[in-house]
Structure 1
Amino acid sequence: MDWERILLVFTDILLPLAAGYLLKIHNLMPQKACDWLIRFNVVVMVTVLTLMSFWVLPLSAQLLWLPLIGVLITAVPGVIGARCFAGQFDNELDRGAYVISAMLSNIGTIGGLCAFILYGEEGFAYVQLVAAPQNILMVAAAFPMAKYYYEKHHAAKRKAKLQLSFREMFITWNQVGILGMAAGILLQVFGVSRPPALGVLFHNLVHVLAWVSLLPVGFLIDFGRARFYYRKVISMLWLRFVIVPVLFYLLFKLLFTDKVLLGSLLLLAATPAAINSVITAQLYKLNVDITIASFLLTTVVFVLVVFPLFFFYIHFGGRL
């Protein structure tokens, strides 16, 4: 079972990324097909899986801290990124891409796997509760933020005043995943049991979701263009691996005493930039290369430096 989980890193993360990249360099998939996959993922797959997961999500008062922490792990880095680091860029499309990369972290995939390696099923379960709001936050917070920067850029080009309505920001097909969350919660509140067959379907759809979401990311990766932004996103390393973990460590020490929970949450606070930041940038025509540079740089540093240090510290009895 452990080997099967580790194998998912290759089958559900590396393979779809590689497949998308190969489809691009060999001209086997047009850009329109990539854009269609992105929309299908956001509108259909995220909605269905959100409904099914919230249908059985535990809603006890004690565990409600964890989804709240999931919200804070998205909001706090986004605010810090916007206030302290995004100003280095010359236009709103670049600033927006940086802020989105700061907001969205790779909790569900890399965070879940690493927590499982460190703490087993208990750590993995904690991660899922923190990760539960991530898809909702992508459509409820990151998408409107991306729309804001997109419209601000074009208002500046027209030398016109920025005008955004509530509908333009929050009521689009990209936000339909919120309805899935609401439907799942209502089904649980009213005591409607999820059929066992849907549980089996959910586990199969997770793998489909991985391919539908990651294959377009592989297609969008351009190593040649992303390399021009590595130096500009170096600050993302400080934000992801120093500033945010320190801030949240202080909060976690006040709230929790369980070492497995504390370690799992601290690990999540230091996860790299999310793949979903690339999807968001593509949807709203921000600078995709900045999100790709952030994703690649933070992921490599996390896998090669941050997680090994954390692993050996915990393994040899370090105190949190």
Structure 2
Amino acid sequence: MDGASLRILYVLTDLIMPLAVGYLLHQRHLVSDSVINKVIRFNVICVYTTLSLLSFWVLPLSWSLLLVPFLGMLLVLLPGAIGYGLFARHIENLLNRGAFIASAMLANLGTLGGVCAFILYNEQGFAYSQIIGTMQNFLLCVVVFPLAQYYYMKHTSAIRKSSGSHNFREMFFSVNQLSLLGMTGGLILNANGITRPEILGHLFQYLVHIAAWIAMLPVGFLIDFRQVRRYAKNVRTLTFLRFVITPIIFTGLAYLIVSDPVLQGTLLILTFCPTAINAVLAAKIYKLNVDLAVSSFVITTAAYLFVIFPLLFMLLH
């Protein structure tokens, strides 16, 4: 059995197991909502910031790699724009619309995509996925969080009751964007030629697995299969967007403008990725429709883990 076949166990240990544990914790009332909220905030504020710092510290700064973050930005912005234009603008409830747009924009690139790219392409595939995922984390901070805040504020009529400067501060300068400081610090260290200590590289490897657990466990805690069934019809359009429209566009782009076969394969894995955990976290933090985001996450993730990725594994292995 080769390394890729052995690493496929990470799908179970880093992705499925924390989901199951979170779900059991909720069903048996072993953990309160307040504890889960603290775990979510710890993940967003501490873990994301640390991973951003460490990943940007060693991010290759060559001109040839400028294409990779550009594709990472497109993987967020284009599905979001298409999702809004075709589907979301017809949703009247603003909390539902905000959750839909977050679910359309955010794919599970860093956690699920990173583990799956690692399974097939080892460290190189994981590195590419992290560069692309880092761009999504950047857009999570500067686009998705402000959009989520906007739809919540618009729903509660807060925009009409407070000043423009106050709204601007809340939407773009909150503790949830702290990972931007990690990105900036990592780039400064990188640009100044300061070598990242080897021990921090080992720490990063451990943090990847820890971050997967910290990210997946709260989502498992939030899963309510009754609500998943309730919003399954609403998620059909998101499923079509995630598994048909986006892959058609980006598979063509990958093979037209990318020559590196590992990067091509990694992009193929990422372009099929399901709705991100961060869409659920954004909905939770900004009080949008969490059940719609969870429904999208559960349905698209199940399809990816049990149908899409096995097919990709056979195609690319």
**Fold equivalence (TM over 0.5):** yes
Give the equivalent residue in structure 2 for 1:183: 185
Give the equivalent residue in structure 2 for 1:133: 135
**Contact 2:153 2:159 survives alignment (8 Å):** no
Higher mean displacement: 117-126 or 279-288:
117-126
Give the equivalent residue in structure 2 for 1:99: 101
The structure 2 residue matched to 1:305, chosen from 300, 307, 315, is 307
Structure 1 residue 139: deviation in Å?
1.8
Structure 1 residue 229: deviation in Å?
0.3
Structure 1 residue 10: deviation in Å?
2.1
- Whether 1:145 aligns to 2:153 is no
The structure 2 residue matched to 1:199, chosen from 198, 201, 217, is 201
Identity %: 49
Q: How many Å separate the matches in 1 of 2:124 and 2:214?
A: 28
Over the residues paired in the alignment, what is the CA RMSD in angstroms? 2.2
Give the equivalent residue in structure 2 for 1:242: 244
Q: How many Å separate the matches in 2 of 1:115 and 1:304?
A: 16
Q: How many Å separate the matches in 1 of 2:4 and 2:99?
A: 36
Give the equivalent residue in structure 1 for 2:12: 10
The one-character-per-residue Cα deviations of 1:9-36 (angstroms, maximum 9, x if unpaired) are 2222222211111111111111111111
Structure 1 residue 208: deviation in Å?
2.2
AA of the residue aligned to 2:290: V
- Whether 1:36 aligns to 2:38 is yes
Which secondary structure does the structure 1 equivalent of 2:233 belong to? coil
Q: How many Å separate the matches in 2 of 1:314 and 1:47?
A: 33
The structure 1 residue matched to 2:81, chosen from 79, 82, 89, is 79
Gapped regions of structure 1 (runs ≥ 5): 316-320
Structure 1 residue 122: deviation in Å?
4.0
**Contact 2:118 2:126 survives alignment (8 Å):** yes
Q: How many residues align?
A: 313
The one-character-per-residue Cα deviations of 1:71-117 (angstroms, maximum 9, x if unpaired) are 11011111111121113433100000010000110112332333344
The one-character-per-residue Cα deviations of 1:99-158 (angstroms, maximum 9, x if unpaired) are 000011011233233334444554333323222222222222211111111111111xx8
AA of the residue aligned to 1:140: V
**Contact 2:235 2:295 survives alignment (8 Å):** yes
With normalisation by structure 2, the TM-score equals: 0.91
Structure 1 residue 163: deviation in Å?
6.3
- Whether 1:275 aligns to 2:272 is no
Higher mean displacement: 258-267 or 240-249:
258-267
Structure 1 residue 302: deviation in Å?
2.1
The one-character-per-residue Cα deviations of 1:197-238 (angstroms, maximum 9, x if unpaired) are 222222222222222222111111111112100011101121
**Contact 2:247 2:271 survives alignment (8 Å):** yes
Alpha carbons of structure 1 residues 205 and 259: separation in structure 2 relative to 1, 3 Å: closer
AA of the residue aligned to 1:103: M
Give the equivalent residue in structure 2 for 1:210: 212
Alpha carbons of structure 1 residues 39 and 120: separation in structure 2 relative to 1, 3 Å: closer
Structure 1 residue 167: deviation in Å?
1.3
Give the equivalent residue in structure 2 for 1:318: none
AA of the residue aligned to 2:60: P
AA of the residue aligned to 1:87: R
Structure 1 residue 241: deviation in Å?
1.2
Gapped regions of structure 2 (runs ≥ 5): none
Which secondary structure does the structure 1 equivalent of 2:156 belong to? helix
Give the equivalent residue in structure 2 for 1:19: 21
Structure 1 residue 278: deviation in Å?
0.8
Alpha carbons of structure 1 residues 100 and 264: separation in structure 2 relative to 1, 3 Å: same
Give the equivalent residue in structure 2 for 1:254: 256
Structure 1 residue 4: deviation in Å?
5.4
**Contact 1:272 1:299 survives alignment (8 Å):** yes
**Contact 2:152 2:287 survives alignment (8 Å):** yes
Q: How many Å separate the matches in 2 of 1:88 and 1:297?
A: 22
Q: How many Å separate the matches in 2 of 1:137 and 1:101?
A: 13
Alpha carbons of structure 1 residues 177 and 119: separation in structure 2 relative to 1, 3 Å: closer
Alignment of 1:87-126 (within 5 A): 87-126=89-128
With normalisation by structure 1, the TM-score equals: 0.90
Which secondary structure does the structure 1 equivalent of 2:60 belong to? coil
AA of the residue aligned to 1:154: T
AA of the residue aligned to 1:142: V
